[in-house]
Amino acid sequence: MLCKLRLPGAAPRSRPPLLLLCSLALSGCAGSPSVLAPASPGAARIADLFWSVLAIAAAIFVVTEALLIIALIRFRSRPGDREPDQVHGNQALELAWTLAPALILAGVFVATASTMTAVTQEQPGALRVKVVGHQYWWEMQYPDQRISTATDLHVAVGQPVEVELVAADVIHSFWVPELSGKTDLIPGHTNRVRFTADRPGTYRGQCAEFCGAQHANMAFEVIAEPRERFDDWTRRMQAPPAIPIAGPAARGAQAFLGGVCVGCHTIDGTQAQGKVGPNLTHFGSRRTIASLTLDNTPENLATWLTDPQAVKPGNLMRIPTLSRETIQDLVAFLEGLQ
């Protein structure tokens, strides 16, 4: 929008640098979720609160600036003016400029407190999810469905979700701009966040509390689906994956289950029961690798397995160097875990 504006007097020749500046300024916004595009009743209340406070602040700005400009023009010094009357103190005025801001702030406080109460209110029939923040990924557990996965938080459209937030190591913060406000995950303390997705969609979430080198790459997605699709997903996740018995995938399974991988990762129905890293039971059905750092494609998975530290420096996955063949076999095995 901004880039479409034509500056008066700007010669056509100056347009490319202007466009470049515009695109640089806005490139960070491309595809980002906005708190002003709410997709849940709670996020809509937060957006309404933002607009109300902005309107109040804008009105105060306009009135103050108008008075200032009127004073500057009307009372400016003119040739031959005598010295103005000297005044000191004006009780009525001082009371007014103390009381008016106090009343406005009290109003903003009441609106904020009522919004906070509304968005944290317990909802009947909620889907319970436990989200564990790790450096630098999100563990998603569904205690009632006995599902454990990572990065993708699947929910049903229209069903309230109650998220229990805990941290495995340091403080993180759960934030899905289109669905909920920010809530911290604190070691040794359980917090809760509640939301209901109004419409189907994939909503990006982000860790919003600095937690280490890969804080920025600690993202996740809330995938809101119609009820039948969510139930389908639940059924697929509850079924243990088929472990291949022939071909590259079978060699990959052997390398995985006989290697260091099992120390950190779980694959249901196998001896891999590690709890340090993400559960990989249905890894092939996820959209991304390493908390949205890479799309989940065979090429990207091979890149990741070649050197996880090169892709996401400082993450906790440290593995011995693997041969090209082993990597290809592991990719065939992991991508097959649907």
Nearest residue (CB) to ligand CUA, 215 versus 282: 215
Nearest residue (CB) to ligand CUA, 203 versus 333: 203
Nearest residue (CB) to ligand CUA, 84 versus 188: 188
The residue count for binding ligand CUA (CB under 6 A) is 9
DSSP state string for 274-313: --SS---TTGGG-SEETTTTEE--HHHHHHHHH-HHHHST
Please, what is the end-to-end C-alpha distance for the chain in angstroms? 42
Nearest residue (CB) to ligand CUA, 211 versus 331: 211
Nearest residue (CB) to ligand CUA, 196 versus 291: 291
Q: What tokens were used for 336?
A: 């097959």
Nearest residue (CB) to ligand CUA, 189 versus 199: 189
Q: How many whole angstroms separate alpha carbon 190 and alpha carbon 175?
A: 16
User: CA-CA distances (angstroms) from residue 46 to 34, 115, 199, 206, 255?
Assistant: 12, 7, 17, 18, 49
Cβ at position 315, least distance to ligand CUA in Å: 12
Q: How many whole angstroms separate alpha carbon 111 and alpha carbon 186?
A: 27
Cβ at position 196, least distance to ligand CUA in Å: 25
Cβ neighbors of 208 (< 8 A, separation 6 or more) are 173, 174, 175, 182
What mask of x and - would describe binding to ligand CUA in positions 30 to 69, judged by CB under 6 A?
----------------------------------------
Residue 329 main-chain phi, psi, to 5 deg: -65, -45
Cβ at position 189, least distance to ligand CUA in Å: 16
Cβ at position 177, least distance to ligand CUA in Å: 15
How many residues can be counted in the chain?
338
Q: CA neighbours within 13 Å on the CB side: how many for 244?
A: 21
> Pick from 42, 140, 152, 172: which binds ligand CUA (CB under 6 A)?
172
Strand partners, 288: 295
Cβ at position 23, least distance to ligand CUA in Å: 28
Contacts (CB under 6 A) with ligand CUA, residues 95-154? 133, 136
Amino acid at 136: Y
Cβ at position 132, least distance to ligand CUA in Å: 11
DSSP 265: -
Work out whether 278 is an interface residue with ligand CUA (CB under 6 A).
Answer: no
Nearest residue (CB) to ligand CUA, 136 versus 233: 136
Nearest residue (CB) to ligand CUA, 147 versus 218: 218
Q: Which burial class, exposed, middle or buried, applies to 201 when counting CB atoms under 10 A from its CB (0-12, 13-18, 19+)?
A: middle
Contact 311, 298 (CB under 8 A): no
Cβ at position 185, least distance to ligand CUA in Å: 8
Contacts (CB under 6 A) with ligand CUA, residues 199-218? 207, 209-211, 215, 218
Question: Is beta strand 152-156 parallel, antiparallel or unpaired with respect to 147-150?
Answer: unpaired
What mask of x and - would describe binding to ligand CUA in positions 240 to 269, judged by CB under 6 A?
------------------------------
Cβ at position 278, least distance to ligand CUA in Å: 14
The H-assigned helical ranges of the chain are 15-27, 41-74, 91-120, 227-238, 247-257, 298-306, 308-311, 324-335
Nearest residue (CB) to ligand CUA, 215 versus 265: 215
Residue ranges binding ligand CUA (CB under 6 A): 133, 136, 172, 207, 209-211, 215, 218
